[in-house]
Amino acid sequence: MEKKMRIMTERPLNAETPIPSLRSWITANAVFFDRNQSEIPSDKISLEEWRLGIDGEVEQPIEITFDQILRMPKAIVSNTLECSGNGRSLLAEKASGNPWTIGGVGNAVFGGVWLKDILDMAQPGRKTKHVAFEGLDKPLGSAGVKFIRSIPFEKAMSSSLLVYEMNGEPLPLKHGYPLRALALGWTGANCVKWLQRITLLDRPYEGFFMDKVYRVYQKGDAPESGNVVTALKLKSIITQPLPDETLPAGPVTILGAAYGGEDGIGAVDVSVDGGRNWKPAEFIGPHEPFAWRQWQFVWHVVKEGAYRIMARATDGKGRQQPMNAFWNVLGYGNNGVQEHAINVQIGSSGASAAF
Ligand SMILES: Nc1nc2c(c(=O)[nH]1)N[C@H]1C(S)=C(S)[C@@H](COP(=O)(O)O)O[C@H]1N2
Ligand SMILES: [Mo]
Protein backbone atom coordinates (compact mmCIF):
# COMPACT_ATOMS: atom_id res chain seq x y z
CA MET A 1 0.00 0.00 0.00
CA GLU A 2 1.23 3.43 -0.90
CA LYS A 3 2.26 5.21 2.28
CA LYS A 4 3.93 8.37 1.11
CA MET A 5 3.33 11.74 2.72
CA ARG A 6 1.38 14.18 0.57
CA ILE A 7 3.70 17.19 0.43
CA MET A 8 1.87 20.51 0.09
CA THR A 9 4.91 22.80 0.36
CA GLU A 10 8.63 21.93 0.65
CA ARG A 11 9.83 25.15 2.26
CA PRO A 12 8.53 25.39 4.84
CA LEU A 13 7.71 21.68 5.00
CA ASN A 14 3.96 21.04 5.11
CA ALA A 15 2.86 17.48 4.45
CA GLU A 16 -0.08 15.31 5.37
CA THR A 17 -0.30 11.74 6.59
CA PRO A 18 -1.45 9.26 3.93
CA ILE A 19 -4.96 7.98 4.73
CA PRO A 20 -3.96 4.28 5.17
CA SER A 21 -1.58 5.35 7.98
CA LEU A 22 -4.53 6.83 9.88
CA ARG A 23 -6.02 3.31 10.36
CA SER A 24 -3.76 2.58 13.31
CA TRP A 25 -4.33 3.88 16.85
CA ILE A 26 -0.74 5.10 16.83
CA THR A 27 0.44 7.20 13.91
CA ALA A 28 4.04 6.28 13.14
CA ASN A 29 6.57 9.09 13.48
CA ALA A 30 7.77 8.62 9.88
CA VAL A 31 4.34 9.49 8.50
CA PHE A 32 3.12 11.89 11.21
CA PHE A 33 1.94 15.11 9.54
CA ASP A 34 4.37 18.04 9.27
CA ARG A 35 3.27 21.62 9.76
CA ASN A 36 5.85 24.40 9.80
CA GLN A 37 5.67 28.16 9.61
CA SER A 38 9.45 28.44 9.51
CA GLU A 39 12.63 26.61 8.67
CA ILE A 40 13.18 23.37 10.61
CA PRO A 41 16.33 23.98 12.76
CA SER A 42 19.50 22.05 11.93
CA ASP A 43 20.02 18.73 13.67
CA LYS A 44 23.23 20.08 15.21
CA ILE A 45 21.40 21.09 18.40
CA SER A 46 23.76 20.08 21.21
CA LEU A 47 21.94 18.73 24.26
CA GLU A 48 24.88 19.83 26.45
CA GLU A 49 24.55 23.45 25.36
CA TRP A 50 20.75 23.47 25.10
CA ARG A 51 18.90 25.45 27.79
CA LEU A 52 15.23 26.17 28.46
CA GLY A 53 14.75 29.68 29.83
CA ILE A 54 11.75 30.60 31.98
CA ASP A 55 11.15 34.28 32.60
CA GLY A 56 8.51 37.02 32.77
CA GLU A 57 6.03 37.09 35.66
CA VAL A 58 8.05 34.77 37.88
CA GLU A 59 9.69 35.12 41.28
CA GLN A 60 12.76 33.28 40.05
CA PRO A 61 13.77 33.32 36.37
CA ILE A 62 15.58 30.06 35.62
CA GLU A 63 17.49 28.16 32.98
CA ILE A 64 17.04 24.41 32.87
CA THR A 65 19.38 21.91 31.24
CA PHE A 66 18.17 18.92 29.26
CA ASP A 67 19.71 16.60 31.83
CA GLN A 68 17.66 18.26 34.61
CA ILE A 69 14.49 17.63 32.62
CA LEU A 70 15.36 13.96 32.14
CA ARG A 71 15.79 13.59 35.92
CA MET A 72 12.32 14.94 36.69
CA PRO A 73 9.22 12.80 37.28
CA LYS A 74 8.02 11.51 33.91
CA ALA A 75 4.63 11.76 32.22
CA ILE A 76 3.48 9.43 29.43
CA VAL A 77 0.30 10.57 27.69
CA SER A 78 -1.33 9.70 24.38
CA ASN A 79 -2.61 12.72 22.51
CA THR A 80 -4.27 13.37 19.17
CA LEU A 81 -2.64 16.35 17.52
CA GLU A 82 -4.46 18.11 14.71
CA CYS A 83 -3.61 21.19 12.68
CA SER A 84 -6.24 23.91 13.06
CA GLY A 85 -6.68 23.93 9.28
CA ASN A 86 -7.08 20.18 8.81
CA GLY A 87 -9.95 19.43 6.42
CA ARG A 88 -9.77 22.91 4.90
CA SER A 89 -9.75 21.71 1.26
CA LEU A 90 -13.00 19.79 1.87
CA LEU A 91 -14.95 22.97 2.64
CA ALA A 92 -17.57 23.79 0.03
CA GLU A 93 -16.40 27.41 -0.08
CA LYS A 94 -12.66 27.98 -0.52
CA ALA A 95 -10.62 29.23 2.45
CA SER A 96 -6.97 30.27 2.30
CA GLY A 97 -4.19 28.12 3.71
CA ASN A 98 -2.63 24.68 3.22
CA PRO A 99 -5.06 22.40 1.32
CA TRP A 100 -5.35 19.66 3.96
CA THR A 101 -7.74 16.79 3.26
CA ILE A 102 -8.05 14.61 6.40
CA GLY A 103 -4.37 13.86 7.10
CA GLY A 104 -3.43 16.90 9.17
CA VAL A 105 -3.93 14.80 12.28
CA GLY A 106 -2.21 11.98 14.14
CA ASN A 107 -2.18 10.21 17.47
CA ALA A 108 1.03 9.52 19.37
CA VAL A 109 2.21 8.44 22.79
CA PHE A 110 4.34 11.26 24.15
CA GLY A 111 6.83 11.13 26.99
CA GLY A 112 8.01 14.16 28.92
CA VAL A 113 7.26 16.19 32.02
CA TRP A 114 4.18 18.06 33.21
CA LEU A 115 4.54 21.74 32.35
CA LYS A 116 3.27 22.58 35.86
CA ASP A 117 6.32 20.94 37.42
CA ILE A 118 8.62 23.13 35.31
CA LEU A 119 6.68 26.36 35.87
CA ASP A 120 6.54 25.78 39.63
CA MET A 121 10.36 25.78 39.69
CA ALA A 122 10.27 29.44 38.56
CA GLN A 123 7.49 30.33 41.04
CA PRO A 124 4.80 31.97 38.89
CA GLY A 125 3.71 35.40 40.10
CA ARG A 126 0.14 36.32 41.02
CA LYS A 127 -0.38 38.35 37.85
CA THR A 128 0.29 35.41 35.50
CA LYS A 129 -2.55 34.90 32.99
CA HIS A 130 -0.81 33.45 29.94
CA VAL A 131 2.24 31.36 29.15
CA ALA A 132 4.15 32.13 25.93
CA PHE A 133 6.36 29.62 24.11
CA GLU A 134 9.19 30.43 21.74
CA GLY A 135 10.99 27.93 19.53
CA LEU A 136 14.43 27.80 17.94
CA ASP A 137 13.11 27.92 14.37
CA LYS A 138 14.10 30.90 12.23
CA PRO A 139 11.31 32.74 10.43
CA LEU A 140 10.99 32.36 6.67
CA GLY A 141 10.02 35.27 4.46
CA SER A 142 10.57 38.99 4.64
CA ALA A 143 8.24 39.63 7.57
CA GLY A 144 10.68 37.75 9.80
CA VAL A 145 8.13 37.00 12.49
CA LYS A 146 8.92 34.26 14.97
CA PHE A 147 6.34 31.62 15.77
CA ILE A 148 5.46 32.59 19.35
CA ARG A 149 2.20 31.45 20.90
CA SER A 150 0.70 31.70 24.35
CA ILE A 151 -1.91 29.61 26.14
CA PRO A 152 -3.91 30.44 29.29
CA PHE A 153 -2.03 29.82 32.57
CA GLU A 154 -4.86 27.54 33.68
CA LYS A 155 -4.41 25.25 30.66
CA ALA A 156 -0.64 25.28 31.17
CA MET A 157 -0.96 24.23 34.82
CA SER A 158 -3.75 21.65 34.41
CA SER A 159 -3.15 19.64 31.23
CA SER A 160 -0.01 20.54 29.34
CA LEU A 161 3.29 18.73 28.89
CA LEU A 162 6.77 19.42 27.67
CA VAL A 163 7.70 16.33 25.65
CA TYR A 164 11.00 14.79 24.58
CA GLU A 165 9.72 11.39 23.39
CA MET A 166 7.26 10.42 20.66
CA ASN A 167 6.10 6.84 20.15
CA GLY A 168 9.07 5.42 22.01
CA GLU A 169 11.72 7.42 20.18
CA PRO A 170 13.48 10.66 21.04
CA LEU A 171 11.26 13.44 19.68
CA PRO A 172 12.12 13.56 15.94
CA LEU A 173 13.71 16.78 14.68
CA LYS A 174 10.69 17.57 12.46
CA HIS A 175 8.40 17.33 15.48
CA GLY A 176 10.36 19.64 17.76
CA TYR A 177 13.55 17.95 18.99
CA PRO A 178 14.68 18.14 21.69
CA LEU A 179 11.58 19.52 23.48
CA ARG A 180 8.11 20.71 22.49
CA ALA A 181 5.08 22.02 24.31
CA LEU A 182 1.93 19.93 24.19
CA ALA A 183 -1.38 21.47 25.28
CA LEU A 184 -3.37 18.23 25.53
CA GLY A 185 -6.47 18.15 23.33
CA TRP A 186 -5.66 21.51 21.72
CA THR A 187 -4.70 22.13 18.10
CA GLY A 188 -1.10 21.94 16.90
CA ALA A 189 -0.65 25.71 16.84
CA ASN A 190 -0.79 25.65 20.65
CA CYS A 191 2.10 23.18 20.79
CA VAL A 192 5.34 25.02 20.04
CA LYS A 193 8.22 22.89 18.73
CA TRP A 194 12.00 23.30 19.37
CA LEU A 195 11.14 25.04 22.61
CA GLN A 196 13.81 27.32 24.05
CA ARG A 197 11.98 29.92 26.12
CA ILE A 198 8.82 30.15 28.19
CA THR A 199 7.62 33.58 29.27
CA LEU A 200 4.86 34.11 31.83
CA LEU A 201 2.64 37.06 30.98
CA ASP A 202 -0.16 39.05 32.59
CA ARG A 203 -2.11 38.90 29.27
CA PRO A 204 -2.09 36.90 26.03
CA TYR A 205 1.06 37.33 23.95
CA GLU A 206 0.60 39.92 21.19
CA GLY A 207 2.08 39.15 17.78
CA PHE A 208 1.31 37.96 14.28
CA PHE A 209 0.75 34.29 15.18
CA MET A 210 -1.61 35.23 18.01
CA ASP A 211 -3.55 38.11 16.49
CA LYS A 212 -3.67 37.61 12.71
CA VAL A 213 -3.94 33.84 12.37
CA TYR A 214 -5.50 30.98 14.40
CA ARG A 215 -8.53 33.23 14.79
CA VAL A 216 -12.03 32.32 13.64
CA TYR A 217 -13.53 35.30 11.82
CA GLN A 218 -15.76 36.23 8.88
CA LYS A 219 -15.08 38.29 5.74
CA GLY A 220 -14.92 41.99 6.51
CA ASP A 221 -14.04 41.39 10.17
CA ALA A 222 -10.67 42.07 11.76
CA PRO A 223 -8.81 38.81 12.53
CA GLU A 224 -8.23 40.04 16.11
CA SER A 225 -11.99 40.15 16.67
CA GLY A 226 -12.29 36.37 16.24
CA ASN A 227 -11.86 33.70 18.89
CA VAL A 228 -8.46 32.02 19.21
CA VAL A 229 -8.43 28.38 18.08
CA THR A 230 -7.96 26.17 21.15
CA ALA A 231 -9.44 22.68 21.67
CA LEU A 232 -9.95 20.20 18.82
CA LYS A 233 -13.49 20.11 17.54
CA LEU A 234 -15.63 17.00 17.63
CA LYS A 235 -15.11 15.10 14.41
CA SER A 236 -14.99 11.73 12.71
CA ILE A 237 -12.94 10.80 9.66
CA ILE A 238 -13.36 7.81 7.34
CA THR A 239 -10.09 6.03 6.62
CA GLN A 240 -11.42 2.97 4.74
CA PRO A 241 -12.61 2.70 2.00
CA LEU A 242 -10.77 5.55 0.31
CA PRO A 243 -12.78 8.30 -1.37
CA ASP A 244 -14.08 7.20 -4.79
CA GLU A 245 -12.85 3.64 -4.37
CA THR A 246 -14.53 0.88 -6.39
CA LEU A 247 -15.18 -2.31 -4.43
CA PRO A 248 -16.82 -5.66 -5.14
CA ALA A 249 -20.11 -6.47 -3.38
CA GLY A 250 -19.87 -8.39 -0.11
CA PRO A 251 -18.80 -7.36 3.38
CA VAL A 252 -17.00 -4.02 3.54
CA THR A 253 -15.39 -3.00 6.80
CA ILE A 254 -15.66 0.77 7.05
CA LEU A 255 -12.90 2.19 9.28
CA GLY A 256 -12.42 5.57 10.82
CA ALA A 257 -11.20 7.63 13.73
CA ALA A 258 -13.15 10.03 15.93
CA TYR A 259 -11.75 12.68 18.23
CA GLY A 260 -13.02 15.51 20.32
CA GLY A 261 -10.11 17.07 22.16
CA GLU A 262 -10.93 17.52 25.82
CA ASP A 263 -14.43 16.01 25.93
CA GLY A 264 -13.70 12.55 24.53
CA ILE A 265 -15.83 10.39 22.25
CA GLY A 266 -19.05 8.70 23.33
CA ALA A 267 -20.34 7.18 20.08
CA VAL A 268 -19.94 7.12 16.31
CA ASP A 269 -22.79 6.48 13.90
CA VAL A 270 -22.45 5.58 10.24
CA SER A 271 -24.73 6.13 7.27
CA VAL A 272 -24.26 4.45 3.90
CA ASP A 273 -27.20 6.18 2.24
CA GLY A 274 -26.17 9.80 2.33
CA GLY A 275 -27.46 10.50 5.84
CA ARG A 276 -30.97 9.00 5.72
CA ASN A 277 -30.34 6.06 8.03
CA TRP A 278 -27.72 5.78 10.78
CA LYS A 279 -26.31 2.76 12.60
CA PRO A 280 -23.81 2.65 15.48
CA ALA A 281 -20.17 1.86 14.77
CA GLU A 282 -18.10 -0.29 17.12
CA PHE A 283 -14.98 1.05 18.84
CA ILE A 284 -11.71 -0.81 18.36
CA GLY A 285 -8.39 -0.45 20.16
CA PRO A 286 -7.26 1.60 23.16
CA HIS A 287 -9.41 4.20 24.88
CA GLU A 288 -7.46 7.04 26.49
CA PRO A 289 -8.28 10.63 27.37
CA PHE A 290 -7.07 13.10 24.69
CA ALA A 291 -6.62 10.29 22.14
CA TRP A 292 -8.83 9.48 19.21
CA ARG A 293 -10.93 6.33 19.07
CA GLN A 294 -10.65 4.03 16.12
CA TRP A 295 -13.98 2.60 15.02
CA GLN A 296 -15.39 0.14 12.49
CA PHE A 297 -18.68 -0.64 10.88
CA VAL A 298 -19.18 -3.87 8.96
CA TRP A 299 -21.36 -3.11 5.98
CA HIS A 300 -22.95 -6.04 4.16
CA VAL A 301 -23.52 -4.65 0.75
CA VAL A 302 -25.33 -6.72 -1.85
CA LYS A 303 -26.56 -4.21 -4.35
CA GLU A 304 -24.19 -2.72 -6.91
CA GLY A 305 -24.21 1.02 -7.30
CA ALA A 306 -22.91 4.33 -6.01
CA TYR A 307 -23.02 4.97 -2.27
CA ARG A 308 -22.32 7.94 -0.04
CA ILE A 309 -20.80 7.07 3.33
CA MET A 310 -20.88 9.39 6.35
CA ALA A 311 -19.74 9.18 9.95
CA ARG A 312 -21.02 11.29 12.83
CA ALA A 313 -19.39 11.47 16.26
CA THR A 314 -21.02 12.15 19.64
CA ASP A 315 -18.78 13.37 22.45
CA GLY A 316 -18.60 12.20 26.05
CA LYS A 317 -21.18 14.82 27.03
CA GLY A 318 -23.72 13.75 24.38
CA ARG A 319 -23.10 16.58 21.94
CA GLN A 320 -23.19 15.69 18.25
CA GLN A 321 -20.83 16.64 15.48
CA PRO A 322 -22.52 19.20 13.17
CA MET A 323 -23.78 18.12 9.75
CA ASN A 324 -22.08 21.14 8.17
CA ALA A 325 -18.88 22.98 8.99
CA PHE A 326 -18.91 26.50 10.37
CA TRP A 327 -17.14 28.41 7.60
CA ASN A 328 -14.54 31.07 8.45
CA VAL A 329 -11.97 33.03 6.43
CA LEU A 330 -8.99 30.85 7.32
CA GLY A 331 -10.96 27.60 7.15
CA TYR A 332 -10.25 26.39 10.70
CA GLY A 333 -11.99 23.56 12.49
CA ASN A 334 -13.76 21.90 9.58
CA ASN A 335 -15.71 19.17 11.36
CA GLY A 336 -18.75 18.93 9.11
CA VAL A 337 -20.22 15.45 8.58
CA GLN A 338 -21.21 16.40 5.02
CA GLU A 339 -17.76 17.77 4.20
CA HIS A 340 -16.19 14.48 5.33
CA ALA A 341 -18.58 12.16 3.48
CA ILE A 342 -17.05 9.88 0.83
CA ASN A 343 -18.47 8.34 -2.32
CA VAL A 344 -17.75 4.74 -3.24
CA GLN A 345 -18.77 2.49 -6.09
CA ILE A 346 -19.85 -1.09 -5.47
CA GLY A 347 -19.47 -3.37 -8.48
CA SER A 348 -18.48 -2.27 -11.95
CA SER A 349 -18.30 1.49 -12.21
CA GLY A 350 -20.96 3.03 -14.37
CA ALA A 351 -23.80 1.24 -12.53
CA SER A 352 -26.28 3.88 -11.41
CA ALA A 353 -27.00 4.97 -7.87
CA ALA A 354 -29.33 2.88 -5.75
CA PHE A 355 -31.02 5.93 -4.29
N1 LIG B 1 8.30 26.40 16.69
C2 LIG B 1 7.21 26.05 15.97
N3 LIG B 1 6.27 25.32 16.55
C4 LIG B 1 5.17 24.94 15.86
C5 LIG B 1 4.98 25.34 14.51
C6 LIG B 1 6.01 26.12 13.92
O7 LIG B 1 5.95 26.50 12.74
N8 LIG B 1 7.11 26.46 14.68
N9 LIG B 1 3.82 24.99 13.84
C10 LIG B 1 2.66 24.69 14.69
C11 LIG B 1 1.51 24.13 13.99
S12 LIG B 1 0.51 25.22 13.15
C13 LIG B 1 1.18 22.80 14.08
S14 LIG B 1 -0.24 22.18 13.41
C15 LIG B 1 2.06 21.84 14.81
C16 LIG B 1 2.47 20.71 13.90
O17 LIG B 1 3.24 19.77 14.58
P18 LIG B 1 3.96 18.59 13.80
O19 LIG B 1 4.71 19.17 12.63
O20 LIG B 1 4.82 17.92 14.81
O21 LIG B 1 2.87 17.66 13.31
O22 LIG B 1 3.23 22.47 15.32
C23 LIG B 1 3.03 23.76 15.83
N24 LIG B 1 4.23 24.20 16.48
MO1 LIG C 1 -1.44 24.05 12.56
Does the beta carbon of 135 sit less than 6 angstroms from any atom of ligand 1?
Answer: yes
CATH number of 6-228: 3.90.420.10
Q: Ligand 1 pocket, 167 CB below 6 A?
A: no
Q: Looking at beta carbons, which pairs linking 244-247 to residues 24 or more positions away fall under 8 Å?
A: 244/342, 244/343, 244/344, 244/345, 245/344, 245/345, 246/344, 246/345, 246/346, 246/347, 246/348, 246/349, 247/344, 247/345, 247/346
Q: How far is CA 273 from CA 264, 267, 313, 355, in A?
A: 27, 19, 17, 8
Average the pLDDT over 62-71 and give the result.
98
Q: pLDDT for 291-343, tens place per residue?
A: 999 999 999 999 999 999 999 999 999 999 999 999 999 999 999 999 999 99
Q: Which of 86, 145, 192 to mutate to test the pocket of ligand 1 (most atoms within 8 A of CB)?
A: 192
Instruction: Point out the ligand 1 atom lying closest to the alpha carbon of residue 214.
Output: 12
Q: What is the pLDDT averaged over residues 26-34? A: 98
User: How is residue 184 annotated by DSSP?
Assistant: T
135 C-alpha to center of ligand 1: Å?
10
Nearest to 103 by CA among 197, 31, 204: 31
Q: Give the DSSP letter of residue 51.
A: E
> Is residue 1 over pLDDT 90?
no
Shortest-distance Cα residue to atom 19 of ligand 1: 34
Q: Assess whether the C-beta atom of 56 lies below 6 angstroms from ligand 1.
A: no
Q: Is the CB of 241 under 6 A from ligand 1?
A: no
pLDDT in tens, 229-281: 999 999 999 999 999 999 999 999 999 999 997 889 999 999 999 999 999 99
At 108-130, the pLDDT tens digits run: 999 999 999 999 999 999 999 99
Ligand 1 site, residue 103, Cβ cutoff 6 A:
no
Does the beta carbon of 124 lie inside 6 Å of ligand 1? no
Atom of ligand 1 nearest to the CA of 81: 21
- Which of 147, 148, 177 maximizes ligand 1 atoms within 8 Å of its Cβ, making it the mutation to test the pocket? 147
Residue 175: pLDDT above 60? yes
Residue 174 in 3-state DSSP?
helix
What CA–CA distance (Å, rounded) separates 168 from 45? Answer: 20
Mean pLDDT of the chain: 95
235-354: CATH architecture: Sandwich (2.60)
Query: Strands of 130-135's sheet, edge to edge?
Result: 62-65, 51-56, 195-201, 130-135, 148-152
Q: Closest Cα to residue 193, out of 174, 178, 180, 210?
A: 180
Q: Could you tell me if the CB of 35 is within 6 A of ligand 1?
A: yes
Ligand 1 proximity of 190 Cβ (cutoff 6 Å): no
Tell me if 149 CB under 6 Å of ligand 1.
no
Query: What is the structure's pLDDT at 194?
Result: 97
Mean pLDDT of 83-103: 96
What is the pLDDT confidence band of residue 355, given thresholds at 50, 70 and 90? Answer: very low
* 147 close to ligand 1 (CB < 6 Angstrom): yes
User: Which residue lies with its CA nearest to atom 20 of ligand 1?
Assistant: 175
- Cβ neighbors of 121 (< 8 A, separation 6 or more) are 54, 60, 62, 64
Distance from the Cα of residue 85 to its chain's centroid:
9
Q: Is the pTM value of this prediction over 0.85?
A: yes
CA of 349 to the centre of ligand 1 (A): 41
- H or E stretch at 120: helix 115-121
Question: Which of the 8 DSSP states describes residue 37?
Answer: S
The ligand whose atoms approach the alpha carbon of 183 most closely is 1
Say which ligand is closest to the CA of 208. Answer: 1
Report the percentage of the chain scoring pLDDT > 90. Answer: 93
Ligand 1 atom nearest to 33, measured from its CA: 21
pLDDT bucket at 349, cuts 50 / 70 / 90 = low
- 150-157: average pLDDT: 98
Nearest CA to ligand 1 atom 5: 36
Residue nearest to atom 4 of ligand 1 (CA): 192
Percent of the chain with pLDDT over 70: 97
| Model pLDDT for residues 35-64, shown as the tens digit of each residue | 999 999 988 889 999 999 999 999 999 999
> What are the residue ranges spanned by the domains of the chain?
6-228, 235-354
